[in-house]
Structure 1
């Protein structure tokens, strides 16, 4: 095939399938990683220290290096409109600029690690356990400081490969980080003894967690960089041409998107700061991460399925003459999100305790930890739909070349999240902190819809609202059915412990999904029919 006859673009369904499979594999391995951490450390000092120290590296990895992050969005928006031969110089110029900036950032993080840990969790200095947690967190942050540079490069590579219609490797490369960490924890468990026999158990374990995270990140970058180079999409070459129009185009989207997409991570930092002042600070901090993973696993898979194929489409439909098609794609994104996320939220709320027990309760993770994490999981689950809907709407603005509007909204939301945290954390504890963030995301969706409605000359918001209300009602009924079945299994069956939780999760969860499917199909929604058709096609193969 010649340069003048490029291969056809994949369909949205094809891209979503590739991304879903790759992301599912990465998420499953990520879950195994979290299970290994829970088995080795429970909700103890090493885990809490890692959650604190990893906030900044994770901020960079998710915000800069993550799929649908600002670097990914900026590169896709710019490269989707360019020929392949024009892409490599732009990629090299952006990499040089971003690499220079984040090399300095990594050095600053290393030098001022104690300051950053105290900034994130000053409440730790109130207790002896908190002081030990602080000392371990400082060491971990210094080990992981170089992640700032690698995260920027990963984000640029992710967007570059996606714009070139390559989705498999970028979506599956995060599993390298999880595999490295799992291997490190495995060696640690076999050699370190236990917390009761080894006085340095938490310290050594913390160092293993930090080095495993760093090495895994390096491997992820190497895999993507190799794919870029093989595809002729840039080499490891310094190119100082920052006044180039293409560079300026990327930065126009990337700059505001950096703050807008970072709202969640900035809110995580705010949440952590308030959590450090709770009476059970160490356990509360650890519970946030465990519960968040259970929510982010389905969210990450579905986010990638929906947002990765839609972002280039939003960019291609930015012309006013294609407004009707753009509105249809927006509906597809929002209602497609509702079809999947609303029933999942309802089931997670009704089955939170058995889900946590099945996934985590073994080794150092005790029943009392399950109760704490389950309460946090329920709070997170309330906001799953609005979280992903917000991301869909933000990507519409990016596709329209408008990063300023999401940026301004995010700035206000950061303030609101801090205010809600302050109001909620004392009366409601760690659950109140999570609900504060959920409240902010709900407000974000309404404000984004308001401005998008004005920009596109009107959206059928009431029609969409009625459809979402129908799906929400079906989900509530499904969750209620699951809750009753779960209690019946607990009271009438002879199961106990893990097997009771497994029966509750599988049987009650399955019945809940059947109830939702029966109710949702009566709504006669195009998105429900499309989802059902895809499921049938999968099982008929």
Structure 2
């Protein structure tokens, strides 16, 4: 079992790394072409609803994906094909209606999401939303198909497929640059640039759906037919998990809407949040997929009472591996935020002012990275246990808390509004910190609820090991920051690369030494595996 999990994790990690690398190149292309100008600022508002559906329904570890894995992993292939066809029919019909609504009500929806947008950005966002409306339909089909593939132990294709979306956007920007040249950065080309961004994003979603069809056919899971059967036991079980899970994950995505609502009155805030979020999601998505994709089927197969001790051990494994990876990454994001942003984005239309804005946001995101992934681990455990209601309740509570924290930390949806707590946090970074606070509270609540559901968990031991890793991460962050600010680094791209690499390397080394000395079992296992592999690599050379 351990060897199988490591093999799956490696496959998922490599595939996800390729996808995230392509996503990073895509964001660099967007930054160079549009900076924080009108086309990309409007795109962040237009993308809220179709992107919400793509992440919510079509994303790896999303509710559609998780529901299909949880149910089909325990069923024969032929029965799984019937269930997938029925769910595709029911979900496709509903999402086709959603697509029509997005097309018809694009104007009012953009007003709702961004009440503080100026007329130019509002009009561009409306046009972009209409171009991206079909993503609603394809999002659901993508998530269901990839969930079925994971249940059939096929992990490469679902994890690498987001690369196609990035390639489509990069190609669209390339064609636009070929046609316009340096004029692509001018305000007069914002409408055309916005349309190209939206159209290529939709094309990427279509390609993600198309690429899964041959794999589903090869696994015997593809049926090109409409099946209107919601009474089948397998279909009903999928819907029972999918319904609350979708609502729960949807509540989390509504927090994005809340943040953008408050950001609409802050110049370039939405664009800055988009750039900073990509830098966080690149390593976070890689580690999340490598950790959760192989563990979710394991959780689903350990639901019997006799398997309870092994399930508790796997839960600890998921949480501690999450903490062991996210704590040092978050610390380094905080310590090296400004040089990282300058290295990745500062070129073309993305100037030093934009780099400072995004760097401040990246610091705030870095603080919340551990809670984000730990919450995902806990939610997947509840899904595997057939309980989507508990995560949904905590997500509902999170929406209210997020709105309250955004108001407190920012002061309102327009500049100059009175703040609830003067001098606390303000501006766009306050929006990120509000989300961080909600994720942390949700994490604690889900952990306590899981302890009650399973009849007890060794939370004190888990907390002790987590605090040891936290201390190691703080030391790593301080060391990286010290190296960054005390050394006179060369200017330019290579100087920033040297600064980030050397300072980050010092931080990682210190974290590894301290965490290993602390004898946390999961960290010790990882260290032993690395030590075993290094001599083999040396011998091959």
TM (norm. structure 1) is: 0.95
Contact preservation (8 Å) 1:70, 1:254: yes
Residue by residue over 1:251-302, the C-alpha shift from the partner in whole angstroms, topping out at 9 and shown as x without a partner, is: 1110010021223321111100100022x2xx11100000000000011010
Q: Number of aligned pairs?
A: 523
Alignment map for 1:157-236 (pairs within 5 Å): 157-195=145-183, 200-236=188-224
Question: Which of 477, 482, 485 pairs up with 2:483?
Answer: 485
Other structure's SS at 1:383 match: helix
Match of 1:4 in 2: none
Per-residue Cα deviation, 1:360-399 (whole angstroms, up to 9, x for no partner):
0000000010000000000011010000000100111111
Match of 2:232 among 244, 258, 271: 244
Task: Note the alpha carbon deviations across 1:65-99, whole angstroms, 9 max, x for none.
Answer: 00000000110111011011211111000000000
Q: Distance in 1 between matches of 2:123 and 2:531?
A: 54
**2:427 aligned with 1:429:** yes
User: Could you tell me which of 434, 446, 461 is aligned with 2:459?
Assistant: 461
Which of these residues, 21, 34, 37, is aligned with residue 27 of structure 2? 34
Q: Say whether 1:419 aligns with 2:407.
A: no
Contact preservation (8 Å) 2:31, 2:350: yes
Quick check: 1:398 aligned with 2:415?
no
Q: Is the 8 A contact 1:42 1:364 kept in 2?
A: yes
Deviations 1:336-370 (A, max 9, x none): 01111100100110000000000000000000100
2:102 maps to 1:117: no
Q: What is the RMSD computed on CA atoms of the aligned residues?
A: 1.4
Whole-Å Cα distance in 2 between the matches of residues 295 and 533 of structure 1?
Answer: 28
d(CA) in 2 for partners of 1:323 and 1:116? 46
1:475 maps to 473
* Contact kept? 2:252, 2:398, Cα under 8 Å: no
What's the counterpart of residue 85 of structure 2?
A: 92
Mapping 1:46-125, distance limit 5 Å:
46-124=39-117
Sort the Cα spacing of 1:400 and 1:305 in 2 relative to 1 into closer, same or farther, 3 A.
same
> Is the 8 Å Cα contact of residues 334 and 392 (structure 1) preserved in structure 2?
yes
Cα distance, 1:245 vs structure 2: 1.2
> 2:519 aligns to what?
524
How many angstroms apart in 1 are the aligned matches of 2:74 and 2:227?
21
For residues 514 and 206 of structure 1, the distance between their equivalents in structure 2, rounded to whole angstroms, comes to 43
The SS at the match of 2:427 is: helix
> 2:373: which partner in 1?
388
Aligned-pair distance for 1:11?
Answer: 1.2
Secondary structure in structure 2 of the residue aligned to 1:317: coil
Residue aligning to 1:321: 306
Query: Counterpart in 1 of 2:323?
Result: 338
SS of alignment partner, residue 469 of structure 2: helix
Question: Is this contact kept in 2: 1:314–1:399, CA < 8 A?
Answer: yes
In 1, the alpha carbon distance for the partners of 2:44 and 2:176 equals 18
In 2, are the aligned partners of 1:9 and 1:165 still within 8 Å (CA)?
no
Deviation at 1:525, TM superposition (A): 1.4
> Do 1:192 and 1:198's aligned partners in 2 also have CA atoms closer than 8 Å?
no
In 2: Cα distance, 1:369 partner to 1:200 partner: 20
Moved more, 316-325 or 419-428: 419-428
Of the structure 1 ranges 168-177 and 154-163, higher mean CA displacement relative to structure 2 is found in: 168-177
Once residues 374 and 82 of structure 2 are traced to their aligned partners in structure 1, the CA distance between those partners, rounded to angstroms, is 35
Partner of 1:3: none
Which of 1, 7, 12 aligns to 1:14? It is: 7
Match of 1:497 among 489, 492, 505: 492
SS in 1 for 2:468: helix
CA contact 2:184–2:193 (8 Å) conserved in 1: no
Structure 1 residue ranges (4+ consecutive) displaced by more than 3 angstroms after TM superposition: 193-200, 533-541
Mean alpha-carbon deviation: is it higher for 439-448 or for 182-191? Answer: 182-191
**Alpha-carbon distance in structure 2 between the residues aligned to 1:9 and 1:85:** 28
Task: State whether residues 161 and 211 of structure 2, in contact with CA within 8 Å, keep that contact through their aligned partners in structure 1.
Answer: yes
The TM-score with structure 2 as length reference comes to: 0.95
What is the CA–CA distance in structure 1 between the aligned matches of 2:403 and 2:123, rounded to whole Å? Answer: 26
- Contact 1:195 1:202 (C-alpha < 8 Å) held by counterparts: no
> Residue 483 of structure 1: CA displacement?
0.6
Report matched runs for 1:125-140 at 5 Å: 130-140=118-128
The within-5 A match list for 1:305-316 is: 305-316=290-301
| Contact residue 353 and residue 374 of structure 1 kept, 8 A | yes
**Does residue 1:151 correspond to 2:149, yes or no?**
no
Q: Distance in 2 between matches of 1:62 and 1:528?
A: 31
Counterpart position of 1:444: 442
Alpha-carbon distance, 1:537 to partner:
5.0
Give the superposition deviation at 1:40. 0.1
